Structure 1
């Protein structure tokens, strides 16, 4: 039995690694194209984008670990069933229940891994992603002004300086034209200016000294003199409107989500929809890790029921079953955020349904019986083949 459990666990682990690698690879290709188009006008290279993707990995792992767990268990037991290994083991007196320790241990480890990502890894990854994104925008972007060159990286705003010291943030003979307001043009001219950045909010503050403001609206022109005048720019506009300062529920650690649920004063003035998102995100972070265990156990009787199915068809079948689970889960998230139903009902409903099917299916699989619905489906398929 120890050899059997070790072999099952090894096969599960190998399939899990292969599945996670393939899914992450597919996501990587799509995200690389998206991030590359985002930084198309910036001096940010391939390895910088790869680093950003690494910090997004916890977010992707939280979503793909449940399906990777299910696929690993399903394909392992489908292969054992197709190769008649399950039949040989049962003929030797080994029931299906005695084969469960290895998949149960595997699913439990996947659940703990996903829970770790949910509690700590996700918020860490998103914080690091924002930090690195800010650093790249601040140090690698073309907003590092060049002397004597007009800079138009910010939408509707043109910068110019005759002399530039990017290390000290000092500008000489600076010029800024703002056409972001429709029908109005504002030009600021000053002999000197100072650039200061605020990493916490990803803002750039440019302070002009002893200059003039020319404001034109239609045929009207106003000229103002000033001793000191400052404008504040958001680096997120360099990155397709990315908001650095926005505090989203999906980026928060589980501990903060729990604190806000108990006391709304922890996040004041955010509105009822935000608090519903916090509730939904909290239950999402708990139910997804548990889903690894449930989907893994659910895959065992399904694989035994559809014995003889080719692996490519088995892969499509398992993906289809997971699609049902994820559709129910997504509907629960949407209804929870909209307030249609309490989020705990919508997010725990798929787990409750699938654990019920898993327990009933396990009982049938151990007795080598086929549920009536599956038997009817197989009979209908055979009847169509015979009539053809």
Structure 2
């Protein structure tokens, strides 16, 4: 029995590792395709790109792990069925349910590991990933000088170069227009026949040759002397320095991102939900005390939030009053209703935002548990399904696993959106895909334990052939 368990474990671990790495690679490529325009041409260091890719890979575990469990379980038991190893196991008196025991234990430990990963590691990975991605997307493009146009990427300067050599460092016919001193009504323009640029730390240095500099400035005393001075300086060689520190990656404080729900653990999510509920309850009490003075025709029980409608006297009392008095009463009532509506409207918008935030926090709270449950539910589908279809490799198992994973992903996406919109409760919306897939897995397990030919094409061909023959008999004349 132990040898069979070791055989099953060895047959599962290798496909699981391979499929997990393949899925992570595919998801990482999707990440690069999505943000390639935000990363290219900004002069990032290689380790910055590597860090971003590592953090993105960690955030993709929530999607890669369930798919890998489903695909590897189908491949494992499909290969065992294709090689008649499951038949040998059953002939030895071991049922399929007993043969699933070691795999159930492995998947259970994977589910526990997935929970601890989503609780402790995923919030940190999300914090690092989203903060670094935010800084990378707002980063300026790396400084480049194009020929024949004014380059305004350096703050305070406009640079035009007529021609660049193939080395990219030698420039010809330069014009540098300084915009840094415009606040003092000063202007400076530098012309040079040739220049060589190189970078030193956070500075770009251009060694100019054979040029002239024109600088125009205001007079010494602007009140009594409105004349401007013009200086012309010729030079054989001149060093022009530009500050490129703004092109370096400027990191934002990570504490600014900690308020997002993806960066919180269960304790923090519970704390946010409790504090939000307290704010909602406090707001309801304030609303009650706010609109109470306007309700002159209502009676409020002492220390109660419920409102009982009560109109004393004759209902036709207003109709008996003169028309002018009726108009005054109606105008007063309309003005008070508008005042109540304006005051309550602003507070109602705030309460709706708080309720939306609470629903979003509940979504992230339930995700901590649904990841583990999804691994178990998809394993219950993959293992018996592989034993039924009896096909290993990356052919049919990949197609079947993608179909079931798409079903899981679509249902979970619909449930998450419905919870955030307030249409469904968080418990129902987030656990609905598990509730849909688990009965399917139990049904497939029952069919696999009874050697069902659920996916036998010949069986369905015979069924439809017999069904067609029945209809033909009915069409024959009596």
Shorter-normalised TM range: 0.5 to 0.7
Tell me what 2:396 maps to. Answer: 313
| Deviation, structure 1 residue 357 | 2.3
Tell me what 1:10 maps to. Answer: 10
Is 1:114 the counterpart of 2:111? The answer is: no
Question: 5+ residue gaps in structure 1?
Answer: 144-149, 163-172, 177-186, 192-234
Runs of 4+ displaced beyond 6 Å: 134-141, 265-269, 383-387
Is 1:379 the counterpart of 2:459? The answer is: yes
Question: 1:290 pairs with 364, 368, 373, which one?
Answer: 373
Q: Distance in 2 between matches of 1:381 and 1:121?
A: 51
**CA offsets 1:366-388 (integer angstroms, 9 cap, x no match):** 222356xx67x76334567999x
Tell me what 1:355 maps to. Answer: 438
Residue 159 of structure 1 aligns to a residue in which SS? coil
Tell me what 1:147 maps to. Answer: none
**CA offsets 1:201-232 (integer angstroms, 9 cap, x no match):** xxxxxxxxxxxxxxxxxxxxxxxxxxxxxxxx
| Deviation, structure 1 residue 310 | 7.2
Q: Distance in 2 between matches of 1:283 and 1:276?
A: 11
Q: Distance in 1 between matches of 2:141 and 2:414?
A: 40
Tell me what 1:303 maps to. Answer: 386
Q: Distance in 2 between matches of 1:152 and 1:286?
A: 52
Decide whether the 8 Å contact of 2:75 with 2:391 is kept in 1: no
| Deviation, structure 1 residue 271 | 3.1
Alpha-carbon spacing, 1:139–1:350, altered in 2? closer, same or farther (3 Å): closer
Tell me what 1:335 maps to. Answer: 418
| Deviation, structure 1 residue 136 | 6.5
Question: 5+ residue gaps in structure 2?
Answer: 144-149, 159-177, 187-245, 281-349, 469-478
Q: Distance in 1 between matches of 2:424 and 2:66?
A: 24
Alpha-carbon spacing, 1:266–1:259, altered in 2? closer, same or farther (3 Å): farther
Decide whether the 8 Å contact of 1:62 with 1:117 is kept in 2: no
| Deviation, structure 1 residue 61 | 0.5
Residue 263 of structure 1 aligns to a residue in which SS? helix
Tell me what 2:72 maps to. Answer: 72
When the two structures are superposed, what TM-score results if normalisation uses the length of structure 1?
A: 0.68
Decide whether the 8 Å contact of 1:55 with 1:126 is kept in 2: yes
Q: Distance in 2 between matches of 1:85 and 1:103?
A: 16
Tell me what 2:43 maps to. Answer: 43
Decide whether the 8 Å contact of 1:151 with 1:159 is kept in 2: no
Output the aligned Cα RMSD. Answer: 3.7
Is 1:346 the counterpart of 2:358? The answer is: no
Residue 156 of structure 2 aligns to a residue in which SS? strand
Decide whether the 8 Å contact of 1:35 with 1:49 is kept in 2: no
Tell me what 1:202 maps to. Answer: none
**CA offsets 1:35-78 (integer angstroms, 9 cap, x no match):** 43203341114442121110122210011101101111111001
Decide whether the 8 Å contact of 1:57 with 1:125 is kept in 2: no
When the two structures are superposed, what TM-score results if normalisation uses the length of structure 2?
A: 0.56
Question: 1:264 pairs with 264, 273, 276, which one?
Answer: 276
Q: Distance in 2 between matches of 1:34 and 1:381?
A: 45
